[in-house]
Structure 1
Amino acid sequence: MVDYTPYAEALFELAQDSKQEIAWMSELKQVAQVITSVSELSQILAHPSIPRVKKKEIIQTAFESELDTTVFRFLLVLNEHNELSHLDKISDAYEACYRKRHRIEIVKVTSASKLDEDQLSRLKEMLEKKLNKTLELEVQVDPSLIAGIKVQASDLVMDNTLVAKINAMKEAINR
């Protein structure tokens, strides 16, 4: 598996210096989305027999006037290294750099029923204190949990669901 982090880190360092971290992340995501959603474009950029010069012309026509100059030049560098077709992965790696630098973590919250905004706000506040990070919650509803919530972060798993409690009771009985 190819690691696209070095490309992302290079652009991220420039973005930090220019104070454009979020703007450039947005531009990368938009270009990656265009490339992946237009199948002809993604096929052309990935095809090894299409010359880089032709790909460069396509990139210039499609994106030059729409992007920050540095982001556009970054696309040209990716093209020179035959990596432009992997912009979605590079964009994800850039976002990971941003999250790491700003101590932002995505936490998955699965609940048996829909949580209201107040419940989510209190949960987020409690978890941010516990983990000492800024969090973004990805919330899902799974009625099969019966009751309660399950929280999954990189450093923490809390399973306070009725299903988990029933399973723990079964294990205790079987010992």
Structure 2
Amino acid sequence: MAQLISKRYAKALFDIAIETNTMDELESQVQMIHQVLESEEEFMQILQHPHILREEKMQLLKDVFSSIVSNELMGLLTLVVQKGRQEHLLEILSTFLDEVKTYKGIVTAVVISAVPLKEEQIEKIKQTLTSRIKKQIQIETQVDPSIIGGLKIRVGDRILDASIYGQLQGLKTSLYDMQLV
């Protein structure tokens, strides 16, 4: 149910972005609001608090965001609170950003390494993936020391495991298979 709610609101904002030809502007505004709401837990707690009136929550949103976001986005934010769906706000914004990525043909690749990667390494990975997938790539990096070394790359539902841990797991499986024969 929550996913359906998020898709409907996000789709409405996406349609407005296409109609008004303001996709890039709305995308940057939504990213900014998403970052604020994600990093400021107290702000989200206020929006979700049952004893604070909806009018006060809508006024808070207007006070904070009305001078820096478009009327269309402000209208969405106040509508979500007016309908009592503020607990879905982050998911709505994320869904909108995903729709924009799909529309622009951008694919996100999650690169997991044992140590933080340097910018040159990230750029080389990005170039390699772009040439193989033939789409624009956005890289997200994660550090996971448990993979010991190498990389794990996830693009959509595909995973390339070139980590030492993955190779050790493969060797372990092979050894078990040899013992069963």
Q: TM-score range by the shorter chain?
A: 0.7 to 0.9
Distance of 1:111 and 1:38 partners within structure 2? 29
Distance 1:58 1:147, change over 3 A: closer
Aligned: 1:109 with 2:122: no
5 Å-filtered alignment, 1:130-149, equals 130-149=132-151
Distance of 2:34 and 2:166 partners within structure 1? 40
Aligned to 1:170: 172
| More moved, 50-59 vs 78-87 | 50-59
Which deviations, in whole Å up to 9, do the C-alpha atoms of 1:99-145 show, x marking residues without a partner? Answer: 12122222121234444433322221221232232212222344443
How far the C-alpha of 1:160 sits from its partner, in A, is: 1.6
5 Å-filtered alignment, 1:43-54, equals 43-54=45-56
Aligned to 1:156: 158
5 Å-filtered alignment, 1:14-53, equals 14-35=16-37, 37=40, 39=42, 41-53=43-55
Task: Give unmatched runs, 5+ long, in structure 1.
Answer: none
How far the C-alpha of 1:8 sits from its partner, in A, is: 0.8
Aligned: 1:125 with 2:114: no
Q: Tell me, what secondary structure is at the counterpart of 2:167? A: helix
Aligned to 2:2: 2
Distance 1:118 1:64, change over 3 A: closer
Contact 2:31–2:97 (Cα < 8 Å) also in 1 = no
Distance of 1:25 and 1:108 partners within structure 2? 21
Task: Give unmatched runs, 5+ long, in structure 2.
Answer: none
How far the C-alpha of 1:10 sits from its partner, in A, is: 0.7
Query: RMSD over aligned Cα, in angstroms?
Result: 2.6
Q: Tell me, what secondary structure is at the counterpart of 1:158? A: strand
TM-score normalized with structure 2 length: 0.78
Which deviations, in whole Å up to 9, do the C-alpha atoms of 1:54-111 show, x marking residues without a partner? Answer: 4333333333333212111222222321223432221111111111212222212123
Contact 1:33–1:88 (Cα < 8 Å) also in 2 = no
Residue correspondences, number:
174
Distance 1:170 1:60, change over 3 A: closer
| More moved, 135-144 vs 92-101 | 135-144
Q: Tell me, what secondary structure is at the counterpart of 1:160? A: strand
Which deviations, in whole Å up to 9, do the C-alpha atoms of 1:30-57 show, x marking residues without a partner? Answer: 3344456262x43443234544334333
Identity %: 26
Distance 1:126 1:80, change over 3 A: same
Contact 2:114–2:151 (Cα < 8 Å) also in 1 = yes
Distance of 1:155 and 1:35 partners within structure 2? 28
How far the C-alpha of 1:14 sits from its partner, in A, is: 0.9
Amino acid of the structure 2 residue aligned with 1:162:
I
